[in-house]
C-alpha cells in the first residue's frame, strides 16, 4: 500500500498544479472550440478535448495545458486498474472504481457532471460557462480523485480485517497454551485437574501425604476448659 499511496500523492500534486491553471485551460478550450467552429456545443467528453488538441490547437501554451488534462485522465484510469488488482474479493470497492473508469472513458457523456462542496472549481466560472460549456470538464478530475480515495480506503479496511481474522484463526486453532503445558507436564491427571480448577487449599498438596501434618492442619481451634458452644 505504500507504493499505492505514493502514486496517489503524485496524482494529487499534478491535479493541484492543473487546478491552479484552470483559467489557462478554459482559454485553451475556448480558442480551440472557436477554431473548430464548435462554440455552441458544451465540452462533454474526453474524446472531444483530444480532438481539439489533435486538430485545432495552434499554440504551445494551449497544447501544453490540454495535454496535461488528458495525461491526468489517462493516468487516473491506469491507477484504477492497479487498485482493482489489489481489490480483495471479500470487501470489494468494485463499484467505486468502476465509476472512475466509466467517467474516464473517452466517449462518456459527462454533460450533467458537477463537482460540489468542498470543491469550488465550478464556482470560479461564470454562470453561463458553468451551465453550458465547461462545468462538466472542470468537474471531472476532482470527482474521480474523490472516488479513488474512497476505493483506497475500502481496500485498506478490507486488508486490515483480513489480517485480524487470520490472527484470530491462528490463535483459536493453536494447541494448549505453552505455559500451561509446562505446568501440567509429567503430573497425574487428578492433580492437573485440581491445579486447573483451583478449588482446594494450596497447602493440601504437601499435607495429603503426611498424616501428622494432616491432623495438625485439620485440628479444631483451642478452647478454654469448661466452655461449651453457645456459652
**Where would I find the H helices in the chain?**
2-20, 22-35, 46-55, 60-85, 94-103, 127-128, 135-172, 178-184, 189-197, 204-207, 211-218
Residue 191 CB neighbour total at 10 angstroms: 12
| Mean pLDDT confidence for 7-22 | 95
Say whether pLDDT at 217 is over 80.
no
Q: Render pLDDT for 72-88 as a digit per residue (tens, 0 to 9).
A: 999 999 999 888 887 65
DSSP code per residue over 87-140: --TTS--HHHHHHHHHHTSTT---TT----TT--TGGGS-HHIIIIISHHHHHH
Pick the range with the lowest mean pLDDT from 17-21, 41-45, 114-118, 198-202. 198-202
- Specify the pLDDT at position 111: 92
- In angstroms, rounded to a whole number, what is the distance separating the alpha carbons of residues 220 and 230? 16
Q: Which residue has the higher pLDDT, 137 or 231?
A: 137
- In angstroms, rounded to a whole number, what is the distance separating the alpha carbons of residues 105 and 230? 98
Asked if 59 and 30 touch (Cβ cutoff 8 Å), the reply is no
- Specify the pLDDT at position 179: 47
Task: Note if the pTM is more than 0.75.
Answer: no
Say whether pLDDT at 131 is over 60.
yes
Residues, the chain: 231
- In angstroms, rounded to a whole number, what is the distance separating the alpha carbons of residues 37 and 98? 34
- In angstroms, rounded to a whole number, what is the distance separating the alpha carbons of residues 45 and 139? 12
Amino acid at each position: 500500500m505504500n507504493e499505492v499511496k505514493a502514486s496517489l500523492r503524485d496524482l494529487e500534486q499534478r491535479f493541484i498544479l492543473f487546478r491552479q491553471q484552470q483559467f489557462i485551460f478554459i482559454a485553451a478550450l475556448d480558442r480551440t472550440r472557436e477554431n473548430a467552429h464548435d462554440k455552441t456545443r458544451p465540452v462533454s467528453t474526453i474524446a472531444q478535448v483530444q480532438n481539439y488538441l489533435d486538430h485545432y490547437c495552434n499554440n504551445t501554451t494551449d497544447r501544453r495545458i490540454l495535454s496535461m488534462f488528458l495525461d491526468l485522465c489517462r493516468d487516473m484510469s491506469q491507477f484504477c486498474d492497479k487498485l482493482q488488482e489489489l481489490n480483495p474479493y471479500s470487501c470489494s470497492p468494485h463499484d467505486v472504481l468502476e465509476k472512475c473508469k466509466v467517467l474516464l472513458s473517452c466517449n462518456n457523456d459527462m454533460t450533467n457532471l458537477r463537482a460540489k462542496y468542498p470543491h469550488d472549481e465550478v464556482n470560479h466560472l461564470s454562470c453561463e460557462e458553468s451551465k453550458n460549456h465547461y462545468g462538466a470538464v472542470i468537474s471531472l478530475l476532482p470527482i474521480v480523485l474523490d472516488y479513488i480515495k474512497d476505493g483506497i480506503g475500502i481496500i485498506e479496511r478490507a486488508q486490515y480485517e483480513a489480517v485480524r481474522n487470520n490472527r484470530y484463526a491462528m490463535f483459536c486453532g493453536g494447541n494448549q497454551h505453552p505455559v500451561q503445558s509446562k505446568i501440567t507436564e509429567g503430573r497425574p491427571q487428578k492433580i492437573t485437574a485440581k491445579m486447573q480448577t483451583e478449588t482446594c487449599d494450596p497447602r493440601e498438596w504437601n499435607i495429603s501425604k503426611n498424616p501428622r501434618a494432616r491432623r495438625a492442619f485439620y485440628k479444631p481451634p483451642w478452647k478454654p476448659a469448661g466452655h461449651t458452644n453457645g456459652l
